[in-house]
């Protein structure tokens, strides 16, 4: 099978990104962009991001997760620590996050190190989740092979009965990571493929250097 996609073309004309009009800290620019996209553009799940890790097999792997919080310190998401991504992070905490907001013609690419957040913070977030999501975290041995879907659904029904009327505790193998950025690139689509690319890089004194990159 073959399909030629060379004639797929789009002119990017929805914005600009100028170095003389951006904040000194990339988290502030991320916040501004996130609010703008979430408020003014038709984007499902603005907090959806791709995380790339280097697997134990030596291959990089990317998958979409949901950003649940961002602070000046970094970007927080939750997952099963025993999952494929959790094992990859334990082996090599250097990861890449990326957001692609197509309606705004914007990308954000974040390089950083992932580390587990304190258990009490994971407890607090777990308690805020819908009960079904709590049970799903308990029942799923994420990334492990299962015989069929019926096996998962049967386990879920058993857990629903076991925990009926009871509080569901957070599994110790499930919790949050924070990705602390060392480099953040903002990409704004522009006409004629002369896109705006602004890169922030963290220095030893914890200030950020800002560069414009060729598209």
Domain membership of residue 166 (yes or no) is: no
pLDDT at 35: 98
Q: Which of 131, 193, 197, 199 is catalytic?
A: 193
The answer to whether 85 touches 53, Cβ cutoff 8 Å, is yes
Q: For residue range 172-213, what is the model confidence (pLDDT) as tens digits?
A: 999 999 999 999 999 999 999 999 999 999 999 999 999 999
pLDDT at 10: 87
CA–CA dist 163, 152 (Å, integer): 16
pLDDT at 143: 83
Q: Which helix (H) or strand (E) holds 33?
A: helix 26-40
pTM of this structure: 0.93
pLDDT at 139: 86
Domain membership of residue 104 (yes or no) is: yes
| Domain count across the chain | 1
pLDDT at 159: 85
Domain membership of residue 190 (yes or no) is: yes
Domain membership of residue 145 (yes or no) is: no
Burial class (CB in 10 A: 0-12, 13-18, 19+), 40: exposed
Domain membership of residue 142 (yes or no) is: no
Domain membership of residue 186 (yes or no) is: yes
pLDDT at 90: 98
Domain membership of residue 63 (yes or no) is: yes
Residue among 128, 150, 127, 123 at smallest CA distance from 139: 150
Range of the domain at 80: 19-129+172-212
pLDDT at 86: 97
pLDDT at 73: 98
pLDDT at 155: 87
Asked about 131 being catalytic, the answer comes back as: no
Please report, in tens digits, the pLDDT of each residue of the chain (215 residues total): 899 988 888 889 999 999 999 999 999 999 999 999 999 999 999 999 999 999 999 999 999 999 999 999 999 999 999 999 999 999 999 999 999 999 999 999 999 999 999 999 999 999 999 999 999 898 888 888 888 999 888 888 888 888 888 999 999 999 999 999 999 999 999 999 999 999 999 999 999 999 999 99
What backbone phi and psi angles, to 5 degrees, belong to 124?
-65, -40
Domain membership of residue 77 (yes or no) is: yes
CATH number of the domain bearing residue 28? 2.30.110.10
Residue 151 makes CB contacts below 8 A (sequence gap 6+) with none
pLDDT at 144: 83
């Amino acid at each position: 099978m073959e399909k030629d996609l060379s004639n797929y073309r789009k002119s990017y004309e929805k914005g600009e990104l100028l170095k003389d009009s951006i904040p000194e800290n990339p988290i502030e620019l991320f916040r501004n962009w996130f609010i703008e996209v979430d408020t003014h553009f038709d984007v499902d799940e603005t907090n959806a991001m791709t995380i790339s890790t280097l697997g134990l097999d030596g291959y990089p792997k990317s998958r979409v997760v949901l950003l649940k919080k961002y602070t000046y310190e970094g970007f927080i998401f939750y997952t099963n620590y025993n999952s494929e991504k959790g094992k990859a992070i334990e082996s090599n905490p250097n990861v890449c996050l990326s957001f692609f907001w197509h309606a705004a013609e914007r990308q954000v690419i974040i390089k950083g190190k992932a580390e587990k957040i304190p258990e009490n913070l994971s407890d607090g977030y777990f308690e805020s989740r819908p009960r079904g999501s709590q049970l799903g975290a308990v029942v799923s041995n994420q990334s492990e092979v299962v015989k069929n879907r019926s096996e998962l659904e049967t386990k879920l029904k058993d857990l629903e009965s076991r925990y009926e009327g009871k509080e569901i505790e957070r599994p110790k193998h499930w919790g949050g990571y924070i990705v602390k950025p060392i480099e953040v690139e903002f990409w704004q689509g522009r006409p004629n493929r002369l896109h705006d690319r602004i890169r922030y890089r963290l220095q030893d004194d914890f200030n950020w250097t800002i560069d414009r990159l060729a598209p």
